[in-house]
């Protein structure tokens, strides 16, 4: 990306939510803004601190998050919502102190704060310091647009969903189906409702909303976001089109993946990963293992420690199954995902459809098998399977026969070929957006000018 120096002497402060799927986009955005001449300071919590050494051009400042060693060390993904609620309660005062000091001591003018829409206190803090705040949304605009109506969906009589209604659309929230709804609205109304309301209200008071998305993916949703939040909107993604996410990885990447892929045939390998937060049960884990094994297709499977509830790693697999799996595939704890998806040997991605993973797959033209865990993944997977038609939806069926069938359909059958062709068209459209003069590239210029004007 072309470097401009006209913004020298101006600093932007970034504050990511401490989750892999939020840290990577924030640091990618930091690189984009740095390439436009802005200096960068990243404030971060102690929990899931990004590796400062991987980003020598940025300043990093750590604040306390109030979590105990036990809370940090026990699997933090077991209840992400309550963990984030806790950090939101604890981090306000340390964040205010840190920002106040920075404003006093900085040699450069601090133009604005950019932080994740999941922070609930940052708008008030920035207002108290007279510092403009912009909001980064790390998921699809369509999902943020639904925040005002998600709490109301409980009272619409959609739940519980009978089998005959499962495939009906949720009229207020297309293309979501009724069967997706419970995993969006969740069980705990008291936690979710206030969180969504504060997010909407503080975003409306902000100085602008940045999306890791582009017009080619969701032009209408971006216009609707503008109507709902009434702030300037910038769709400057997919960030992966500019800078890789790999330097922001919180986990050690198994670098043996790529040499292993080098020995596989073109488009023969199915890559399997459910991201950094999703958990599955022991029986679901075994169903995936047998499904992959029975498909006879080569696979690269990320089994993150903590993925399987109650298990350390892959000790549930029998020796016989491990041997059989080892003949065709490779299991790792964490992969260099973007390099993997870009490899010529990858032909499909069995994914939980986190927004980063979905975009990375689209950017590399890899068709998907959708196994969403919850929240915005339910919506992303509907777009993949029902709107863009670049993937097969498992409809929550974590069953060895269904997985075997889907893998074969995507990797070897003619239906897979049709899906692959559609994916190539989508990939090309998105690639145009990040090229010079493309929609995303133009939005970056507008965003840089907007920050200058604050």
Whole-number CA gyration radius for the chain: 22
Helix axes 189-204, 80-90, angle to 10 degrees: 50
In angstroms, the CA 333 to CA 316 distance is: 15
DSSP element (H, E) containing 426: helix 414-434
The binder of ligand UDP chosen from 43, 209, 302, 410 (CB under 6 A): 302
Applying CB under 6 A, the span of 81-89, 189-197, 204-212, 272-280 interacting with ligand UDP comes to: 272-280
Residue 326 CB neighbour total at 10 angstroms? 10
If one asks whether residue 275 binds ligand UDP (CB under 6 A), the answer comes out as yes
Please identify which residue in the block is written with the tokens 């503080």.
202
* Residue 354 touches ligand UDP, criterion: CB under 6 A: yes
Dihedral sign for Cα atoms in the order 382, 189, 304, 284: negative
Q: Does 295 bind ligand UDP (CB under 6 A)?
A: no
Stretch that binds ligand UDP, among 258-266, 268-276, 320-328, 405-413 (CB under 6 A): 268-276
Contact residue for ligand UDP among 7, 24, 213, 439 (CB under 6 A)? 24
Residue choice 88, 122, 279, 356 for contact with ligand UDP (CB under 6 A): 356
Within 49-88, the residues that bind ligand UDP by CB under 6 A are: none
Closest separation between CB of residue 240 and ligand UDP, Å? 8
For the chain, counts of helices (H) and of strands (E): 19, 13
Minimum distance from CB of 199 to ligand UDP (Å)? 17
Per the CB < 8 A criterion, the answer to whether 234 and 214 are in contact is no
Distance of CA 239 to the CA centre of its chain: 11
Quick count: other Cβ atoms within 10 Å of Cβ 80?
16
Q: Nearer Cβ to ligand UDP, position 43 or 245?
A: 245
What is the smallest separation between the CB atom of 24 and ligand UDP, expressed in angstroms?
5
Size of the site for ligand UDP (CB under 6 A): 20
d(CA 240, CA 245): 7
- Choices 8-16, 126-134, 172-180, 332-340; region in contact with ligand UDP by CB under 6 A: 332-340
**Closer Cβ to ligand UDP, 102 or 135, answer by number:** 135
- Taking residues 218 to 247 in sequence order and writing x for each that binds ligand UDP by CB under 6 A, - otherwise, the string is ---------------------------x--
Mention every residue, 6+ apart, whose C-beta is less than 8 A from residue 189: 151, 154
Which range touches ligand UDP (CB under 6 A), out of 45-53, 124-132, 329-337, 394-402? 329-337
Site string for ligand UDP, 333-352 (x = CB under 6 A): -xx-xx--------------
Nearest to 43 by CA among 89, 83, 103: 103
For 50-86, the DSSP string reads --GGG-TTSEEEEE-----HHHHHS-GGGGHHHHHHH
Under the criterion CB under 6 A, does residue 276 sit at the interface with ligand UDP?
yes
CA separation for the pair 348, 391 (Å, rounded):
9
* 20 binds ligand UDP, rule: CB under 6 A: yes
Minimum CB separation from ligand UDP for residue 389, in Å? 20
Side-chain half-sphere CA neighbours of 241 within 13 A: 26
Q: Which is nearer to ligand UDP, 111 or 351 (CB)?
A: 351
Select 423 or 451, whichever has its Cβ closest to ligand UDP. 423
Reported in sequence order, the residue ranges of 237-342 that DSSP labels E, i.e. its strands, are 269-273, 299-302, 329-332
Q: Is 176 in the site for ligand UDP (CB under 6 A)?
A: no
Site of interaction with ligand UDP (CB under 6 A): 19-21, 24, 245, 249, 273, 275-277, 302, 334-335, 337-338, 354-357, 360
């Amino acid at each position: 990306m072309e470097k401009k120096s006209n913004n020298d002497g101006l600093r932007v402060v970034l504050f990511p939510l401490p989750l892999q799927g939020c840290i990577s986009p924030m640091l990618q955005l930091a690189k984009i803004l740095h390439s436009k001449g802005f200096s960068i300071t990243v404030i971060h919590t102690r929990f899931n601190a990004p590796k400062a050494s991987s980003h020598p051009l940025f300043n990093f400042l750590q604040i306390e998050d109030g979590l105990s060693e036990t809370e940090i060390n026990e699997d933090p993904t077991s209840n992400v919502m309550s963990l984030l609620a806790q950090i939101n309660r604890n981090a306000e005062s340390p964040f205010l102190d840190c920002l106040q000091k920075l404003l006093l001591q900085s040699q450069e003018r601090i133009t604005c704060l950019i932080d994740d829409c999941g922070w609930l206190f940052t708008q008030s803090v920035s207002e108290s310091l007279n510092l403009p705040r912009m909001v980064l949304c790390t998921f699809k605009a369509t999902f943020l647009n639904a925040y005002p109506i998600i709490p109301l969906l409980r009272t619409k009589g959609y739940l519980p969903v009978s089998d005959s209604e499962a495939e009906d659309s949720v009229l207020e929230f297309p293309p979501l189906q009724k069967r997706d709804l419970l995993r969006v609205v969740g069980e705990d109304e008291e936690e979710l409702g206030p969180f969504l309301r504060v997010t909407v209200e503080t975003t409306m008071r902000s100085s602008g909303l940045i999306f890791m998305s582009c017009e080619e993916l969701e032009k209408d949703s971006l216009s609707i976001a503008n109507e709902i939040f009434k702030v300037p909107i910038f769709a400057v993604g997919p960030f992966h089109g500019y800078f890789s996410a790999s330097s922001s990885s919180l986990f050690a990447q198994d670098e043996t993946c790529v040499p292993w892929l080098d020995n596989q045939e073109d488009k023969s390998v199915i890559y399997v990963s459910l991201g950094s937060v999703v958990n599955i049960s022991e029986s679901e884990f075994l169903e995936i293992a047998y499904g992959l094994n029975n498909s006879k297709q080569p696979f690269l499977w990320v089994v993150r420690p903590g993925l399987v509830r109650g298990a350390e790693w892959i000790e549930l697999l029998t020796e016989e199954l491990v041997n059989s799996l080892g003949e065709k595939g490779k299991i790792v704890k964490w992969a260099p995902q973007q390099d993997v998806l870009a490899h010529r040997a990858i032909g499909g991605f069995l994914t939980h459809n986190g927004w980063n993973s979905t975009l990375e797959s689209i950017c590399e033209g890899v068709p998907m098998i959708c196994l969403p865990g919850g929240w915005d993944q339910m919506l992303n997977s509907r777009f993949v399977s029902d709107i863009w038609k670049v993937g097969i939806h498992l409809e929550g069926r974590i069953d060895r026969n269904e997985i075997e069938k889907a893998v074969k359909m995507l990797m070897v059958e003619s239906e897979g070929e049709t899906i692959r062709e559609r994916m190539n068209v989508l990939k090309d459209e998105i690639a145009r957006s990040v090229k010079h003069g493309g929609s995303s590239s133009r939005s970056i210029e507008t965003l840089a000018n907007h920050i200058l004007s604050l």
